[in-house]
Amino acid sequence: MNTQKNFLSNPVVVLFGALICCALWGSAFPCIKIGYNMMHIASSDTASQILYAGCRFTLAGILAVFLGSLTQRQFLLPTKASLPHILELSLLQTILQYLFFYIGLAHTTGVKASIIEAVSTFVAIFVAGFLFHQEKVTARKMLGCLVGFAGVVLVNVAGNGMDLHFTVNGDGAILLSTVAYAFSSVFMKRFSVQDNPVMLSGYQFILGGIVMAVCGFFMGGHLSGFTLPAFAMLFYLAVISAVAYSLWGLLLKYNPISKVAVFGFMNPVIGVLLSAVLLGEKDSLGFSSIAALVLVCIGIYIVNKAPKESA
């Protein structure tokens, strides 16, 4: 256990591990759009989007449990004590986060959604520091977060769709999605003290994915166009969730939340860059994207250069 803790607490491992997660999550933005096109899901068809996400997360959970069992050389099974933890994580990390996200996204712009979602880093640090006392919230950490957040705002405001009008069913739903995700990060760190984070991620995805799929189906959602490329894209999206969330959970287990959560500012920046490459959205590449990336990197550096503290 100490060997694993020393390895996963190494700053270089945290850096590359978190960047792998962000690169995977960032690639999800354009790949989801490609998957929608393959499955003939309209941008306004929220029910089918939720159904598609439910299938993705259920498959992600199965993959996480399978890969975790291979690495542990034994089948990962939840204990009686871990079942409530899986239920709570599933409710926060998958069901509430994504149900609110898809509902909100149908009533607001992608730009505003990305900026509101970036607030999850602040929420996670405040909840971890002031509510659960898992770490100290310092001025330096807040400064780093503000610099990183400025990068997220810059990369999004450079495009279209930003205004100051707040809608409850749009922006409000995205905000609730963000709060649910932030709490899930804090709970993952708490629960992983006694439970395997890969096991937690896997089974919460299975449970949450099934609930989302059922909700999407009864909301009138449907899927079509099940071709081999379409399934390959769905499988890749499942791999993103299985690998990224499992690795993220391991990093949270052995490091202060602030040092890991701050990397979340990279997600929308990477999403913009990959959208330019995969979707041909060349207009998103420019000075603002480079400047945003620099700001995010500076913010991450500031937070991770804070004085060492116990995880």
Q: What is the pLDDT of residues 203-218, one digit of tens each?
A: 999 999 999 999 999 9
Cα 111 from chain centroid (whole Å): 17
Q: What is the pLDDT of residue 144?
A: 82
pLDDT at residue 311 greater than cutoff 50:
no
Q: Which DSSP state fits 196?
A: -
SS3 108: coil
Q: pTM to 2 decimals?
A: 0.81
Does residue 309 sit within a domain? Answer: no
Other residues' Cβ atoms within 10 Å of the Cβ of residue 46: 21
Q: What is the pLDDT of residue 66?
A: 93
Q: Which long-range contacts (CB under 8 A, 24 or more apart) does 9-13 make?
A: 9/254, 9/255, 9/311, 11/304
> Are the CB atoms for 231 and 19 separated by under 8 Å?
no
Of 306, 260, 187, residue with least CA distance to 17: 260
Is residue 157 situated within a structural domain? yes
Average of per-residue pLDDT across 42-47: 86
Structure tokens at 176: 């609730």
Task: Report d(CA 99, CA 93) in Å as an integer.
Answer: 10
pLDDT in tens, 65-124: 998 899 888 999 999 999 999 999 999 999 999 888 888 877 766 666 667 777 777 888
In a domain, 311, yes or no: no
Q: CA nearest 76: which of 181, 184, 205?
A: 205
C-alpha R_g of the chain:
19
Q: Cα–Cα distances in Å, from 4 out to 9, 99, 114, 254, 258?
A: 8, 35, 34, 9, 20
- Cβ within 8 Å of residue 20, ≥6 positions away: 243, 244, 247
User: Which has more pLDDT, 276 or 250?
Assistant: 250
Question: Does residue 221 fall inside a structural domain?
Answer: yes
For 245, the token pair is 């969330």
Q: CA 308 to CA 304: how far, in whole Å? A: 9
Domain that holds residue 154: 2-304
Q: What value does the mean pLDDT take over residues 268-277?
A: 72
Provide the number of structural domains found in the chain. Answer: 1
133: left (phi > 0), else alpha (psi -120 to 50), else beta? left
> For residue 93, is it within any domain?
yes
pLDDT one-digit tens code per residue, 279-299: 665 555 566 767 777 887 887
Contact (CB, 8 A) for 78 and 197: no
310 inside domain: no
Residue 236 has pLDDT above 60, yes or no: yes
Residue 198 within any structural domain of the chain: yes
Residue 247's nearest CA partner among 23, 1, 3, 2 is 23
Res. 33: pLDDT tops 80: yes
d(CA 112, CA 258): 23
Residue 158 has pLDDT above 60, yes or no: no
